[in-house]
Amino acid sequence: MSERFKHSVKTALAIVLAYGLALWFDWDRPMWAAFAVALISMPTLEASLGKGGQRLWGTALATFVALSLIALFAQDRWQFMFAQAAWLAFCAYQMINSRKAYLWFCAGFVSSIITANGGPDPVNAFSIATIRTLETALGVICFAVVFSLLWPVREDATAGAQPADVQAVPNARRLNQAVRVFIAYCTAFLLVIYVPGFPGAHSILGMLAPFAIILANTPQLSADKLINPFVLAILISSPIYLFLMPKLGGFAQLGVVIFFACFTISYLLHKPEQALGRTFGLAFFAVVTGISNDQSYSFIALTTTILMFCLTLLILHAISAIQVFRVEDDAMVGKTAEST
C-alpha cells in the first residue's frame, strides 16, 4: 500500500474516532475534536512516536495561556485582543527554526480555539473553555493514538526527509512571519467587533489563527493554493450535510460517511504542495457538517460557513505580502559580525 493511502486512512480513522468519543461523552461541539485532527495532520508536522509528547505539552501550555487570558482580560477586549495576538505571534516565531515546532503549533492553535469560544461569554467562559479544551485535547490524543499504532512513522525513517526544523531561517523573516500572524488575528478581531452580523462571529478567530501560523512556518505555501481544495471540500461536504446526513440513523452509518468523506479529501489532496489545502478541506468538512447529538440542518448555516472560510482566505492572502523587516538587514549584521 502506498504512503498516500496509509496517510489518508489514518487521518480518516482519527477523525471518526474523535467524533465517536466526543458524541459518546455528549460534548456540545464535537467538530472541534475533528478540527484539531485536521490541523495536526499536516505532513510538514508529520506524526511520529517521538512527537506525541510535544502535542500533549503544547495543548497543556495552550490551555494554561487561554484560561489565563480569559481570566485577566475578560472585561477588556482590547487588552485581550493584543494579548492573544501577541501569543500567537510568539508561537509562530518560536515554531520556525525549532525542533519543538509541534509544541509551539499546538500551543498557538489550541489557545485560539479556546479563547474564541470562551472569551465572548465571560459568565460561562471557564466552563466553555474547559469543554473546548477537552474536545481539542481529544482530537490531539486520537490523532496520536491512530498514527502511533497504525503504520507508525518512526523518527529514523523521516530523519533525512524533514530537515526544515533545523535549517536556519533569517531572523528578519521569522519576525515578518510573526507580524503577519499578529496582524491577521487583529484584523479578524476588529471585523468581528465592528461589522454587524459578521459571518461566523468569534468562530472565525479559532479558524483563522491556525492557518496563519501554518503559513508562517511554511512560506513556500500560499493562501492562493487553498482555493481549489476549498471548492473540492464544498462539493463533498455540502451534499453530505444537506441531503445525506438527515437520512442517517446512528453513528455506525454516520461514521462510514465521515470516514469516506475525509479519506476522499485526504487522498485527492495528497501532494506536499497540497498539504495546507488538505488541512483546510478537512477543517471545512468538520465545521460545515457541525456534527453533534442535537443535530440541526440549515442552508443559511451552510452559506454562512462558506462565507466565513472565504473571508479567512481573503485575510490570509492580504497579509501574505507584508514585509516589516528586511532579510538584507540580517545579512549586513552577519557580515559586520564576521569582520569584527
Q: What is the pLDDT of residues 185-194, one digit of tens each?
A: 999 999 988 9
- Residue with the bigger pLDDT between 324 and 203: it is 203
pLDDT number for residue 125: 66
Residue 110 has pLDDT above 60, yes or no: yes
Residue 126 has pLDDT above 90, yes or no: no
pLDDT, tens digit, 9 for 90 and up, residues 238-265 = 999 999 999 988 899 999 999 999 999 9
pLDDT band (50, 70, 90) for residue 165: very low
Query: Which domain does 306 fall in, by range?
Result: 3-154+169-330
pLDDT number for residue 124: 65
Q: Return the sign of the alpha-carbon dihedral for residues 217, 219, 220, 221.
A: positive
What is the distance between the terminal CA atoms of the chain, rounded to a whole angstrom? 56
* Residue bearing cell 485532527: 37
pLDDT number for residue 337: 39
pLDDT number for residue 166: 44
pLDDT number for residue 153: 67
pLDDT, tens digit, 9 for 90 and up, residues 65-106 = 988 988 888 788 899 999 999 999 999 999 887 788 888 988
CB atoms within 10 A of CB 286: 28
Contact 36, 133 (CB under 8 A): no
Residue 323 to residue 209: CA distance in whole angstroms:
19
Residue range 214-226: mean pLDDT, rounded: 75
Residue 48 has pLDDT above 80, yes or no: no
The 3-class secondary structure across the chain, one letter per residue, is CCHHHHHHHHHHHHHHHHHHHHHHCCCCCCHHHHHHHHHCCCHHHCCCHHHHHHHHHHHHHHHHHHHHHHHHHCCCHHHHHHHHHHHHHHHHHHHCCCCCHHHHHHHHHHHHHHHHHHCCCCCCHHHHHHHHHHHHHHHHHHHHHHHHHCCCCCHHHHCCCCCHHHCCCCHHHHHHHHHHHHHHHHHHHHHHHHCCCCCCCCHHHHHHHHHHHHHHHCCCCCHHHHHHHHHHHHHHHHHHHHHHHHHCCCHHHHHHHHHHHHHHHHHHCCCHHHHHHHHHHHHHHHHHHCCCCCCCCCHHHHHHHHHHHHHHHHHHHHHCCCCCCCHHHHHHHHHHHHHC
Whether the full predicted model's pTM is greater than 0.75, yes or no, is yes
pLDDT number for residue 15: 95
pLDDT number for residue 40: 77
pLDDT, tens digit, 9 for 90 and up, residues 293-338 = 888 888 988 898 888 888 888 888 888 777 776 655 555 444 443 4
pLDDT band (50, 70, 90) for residue 122: low
Residue 165 to residue 100: CA distance in whole angstroms:
8
Report if residue 340 sits inside a domain: no
Number of structural domains found in the chain: 1
* HSE of 205, CA atoms in CB hemisphere, 13 A: 28
CA neighbor of 31 nearest in space, from 307, 265, 287, 237: 287
CB atoms within 10 A of CB 191: 15
pLDDT, tens digit, 9 for 90 and up, residues 261-292 = 999 999 998 887 787 788 888 988 988 888 98
CA neighbor of 105 nearest in space, from 193, 12, 218: 218
Report if residue 336 sits inside a domain: no
* HSE of 29, CA atoms in CB hemisphere, 13 A: 20
Least confident of 103-107, 177-181, 214-218: 214-218
Residue 272 to residue 42: CA distance in whole angstroms:
9
Report if residue 335 sits inside a domain: no
Residues in the chain: 340
List phi, psi (to 5°) of 231: -65, -45
Q: Spell out a b/e string for 244-269, using b for 16 or more CB atoms within 10 Å of the CB, else e.
A: ebeeeeebeebbebbbebbbbbbbbb
Report if residue 76 sits inside a domain: yes
- What cell does 272 get? 506536499
Contact 26, 293 (CB under 8 A): yes
The average confidence (pLDDT) of the chain is 81
Residue range 47-71: mean pLDDT, rounded: 77
